[in-house]
Amino acid sequence: MRTNYKNVFKAKTVKEENITENVSVYAENKVLYTFDKPRSPITVKFFEDKNDSWIVYVVMFKTKSGIITDTSIIIADDVETRKKSIERMGFILKK
């Protein structure tokens, strides 16, 4: 008696949904700094957490649509280091 095992070990795939977050998620938090880059569609904002001032969110998003492209969570002591890093990438602090 022979059993067909061809489909038994076939990996099942699940379609991943494109989850897009908008910068409006951080609307309740205080904006510490805003950086823009000339001729770039990206803006970087530093948000202080509304519940804990030690936590700072660094959010990169598309300027026109507000779609988040990258998010980092840092502590308040590391803000100056991250600001210098963002400036080295060519972004300019907005007043």
Give 94's Cβ-side CA count (13 Å radius).
Answer: 12
- What's 68's domain CATH number? 3.30.67
| Burial (0-12, 13-18, 19+ Cβ within 10 Å), 20 | exposed
- Please check whether residue 12 lies inside any domain of the structure: no
The pTM of this model reads 0.78
- Please check whether residue 87 lies inside any domain of the structure: yes
Per DSSP, helices labelled H in the chain are 79-88
Could you give the number of structural domains in the chain?
A: 1
Supply the pLDDT for residue 5. 54
- Please check whether residue 2 lies inside any domain of the structure: no
- Please check whether residue 11 lies inside any domain of the structure: no
User: What whole-number distance in Å separates Cα of residue 22 and Cα of residue 11?
Assistant: 34
Q: Where in the sequence is the domain holding 38, given as residue range(s)?
A: 23-93
Residue 17 has pLDDT above 70, yes or no: no
- Please check whether residue 35 lies inside any domain of the structure: yes
- Please check whether residue 51 lies inside any domain of the structure: yes
